[in-house]
């Protein structure tokens, strides 16, 4: 079932990798290797390449053209172990991420927390010239992807303070009439903090029985329905008045989630600080006058 819709690209890639001495191993990870939330018609293909000269491969603009007609390509940092990946879109719409790691990382691929999280959701060994991936099942053991964890007191207090600080910051931008900056603050940074609190709420209230995906993936499937019903109102149109409205909705939802987390973890929620911020927001919000 792996590599749905990517058969021709995979075969061309495998033939190239077989003949390339510097390529020591390749794995398919991500949706194409998952049994839960598997690939669909919109999924990309994630290939992890273990290479003796990773910097050289990433810098090259020739090899990935062998697998199809390239529309565009770019290099980004990977989310695991801070390496590089080349992302390529081909003319048929196929999207392939070639994450390139040093071949010396092979013995340690399942030892990092990030690596365990990725591999725990599924993987397929496409190539293993040195037979260094045969022990992956034993290395992973019974590991399953994290279902989140309750925050420490310091983490909780830090995120709550960060959130309310930036609520007032957005309100000041509204007062100044900076629509773009205010909207990005409300629907960008504050939403990331809101998502983090929602993940903590899932980890504490559900006692770890909810599979919390990273970066809000599949949020509509794991977040509680009462929370999901409130999320649309937290986003704003590109308009000062609507951003002010959304800012209040975002704050109210964050507050209710944070209070639940505080109760579940025995942490004190700073109700007085929140009230003080709302007082200041009501003084600052709205377009500048005069």
At 117, is the secondary structure helix, strand, or coil? helix
pLDDT of residue 115: 74
Residue 212 predicted with pLDDT over 60: yes
Residue 175 near residue 284 (C-beta atoms within 8 A): yes
pLDDT of residue 240: 95
Alpha-carbon distances, residue 44 vs 5, 73, 88, 233, 284 (angstroms): 10, 14, 10, 31, 45
Residue 167 near residue 175 (C-beta atoms within 8 A): no
Confidence of residue 152 (pLDDT cuts 50, 70, 90): very high
What is the pairing mode between strands 84-90 and 95-102?
Answer: antiparallel
Domains and CATH numbers, the chain: 7-140 (3.30.460.10), 153-284 (1.20.120.330)
Cα(203)–Cα(205) distance, integer angstroms: 6
Residues 56-112 have pLDDT tens digits of 999 998 999 999 999 999 999 887 667 899 999 999 889 999 999 999 887 777 677
Alpha-carbon distances, residue 238 vs 101, 182, 263 (angstroms): 42, 9, 36
pLDDT of residue 33: 76
Of 4-18, 68-82, 236-250, which one has max mean pLDDT? 236-250
Nearest to 94 by CA among 47, 45, 132, 33: 45
pLDDT of residue 146: 56
Residues 166-198 have pLDDT tens digits of 999 999 999 999 999 999 999 999 999 999 999
pLDDT of residue 206: 60
Confidence of residue 150 (pLDDT cuts 50, 70, 90): confident
Per mean pLDDT, which range of 118-122, 153-157, 195-199, 214-218 is the poorest?
214-218
Is the torsion defined by CA of 80, 86, 92, 93 positive or negative? positive
């Amino acid at each position: 079932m792996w590599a749905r819709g990517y058969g021709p690209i995979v075969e061309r890639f495998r033939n190239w990798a077989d003949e390339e001495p510097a390529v020591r191993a390749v794995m398919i990870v991500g949706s194409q290797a998952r049994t839960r939330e598997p690939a669909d018609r919109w999924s990309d293909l994630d290939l992890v390449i273990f290479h003796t000269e990773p910097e050289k491969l990433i810098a090259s603009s020739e090899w990935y053209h062998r697998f199809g007609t390239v529309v565009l390509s770019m290099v980004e940092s990977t989310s695991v172990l801070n390496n590089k990946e080349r992302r390529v879109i081909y003319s048929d719409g196929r999207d392939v991420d070639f994450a390139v790691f040093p071949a010396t990382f092979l013995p340690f691929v399942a030892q990092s927390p990030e690596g365990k999280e990725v591999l725990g959701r599924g993987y397929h060994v496409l190539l293993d010239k040195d037979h260094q991936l045969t022990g992956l099942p034993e290395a992973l053991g019974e590991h399953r992807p994290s279902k989140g964890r309750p925050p420490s007191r310091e983490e909780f207090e830090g995120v709550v303070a960060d959130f309310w600080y930036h609520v007032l910051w957005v309100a000041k931008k509204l007062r100044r009439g900076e629509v773009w900056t205010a909207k990005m603050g409300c629907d960008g940074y504050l939403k990331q903090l809101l998502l983090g609190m929602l993940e903590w709420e899932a980890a504490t209230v559900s006692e770890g029985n909810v599979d919390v995906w990273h970066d809000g993936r599949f949020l509509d499937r794991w977040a509680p329905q009462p929370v999901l019903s409130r999320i649309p109102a937290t986003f704003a149109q590109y308009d000062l008045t609507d951003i002010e409205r959304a800012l209040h909705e975002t704050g109210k939802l964050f507050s209710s989630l944070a209070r639940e987390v505080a109760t579940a973890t025995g942490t004190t929620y700073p109700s007085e600080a929140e009230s003080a911020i709302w007082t200041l927001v009501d003084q600052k919000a709205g377009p500048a006058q005069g």
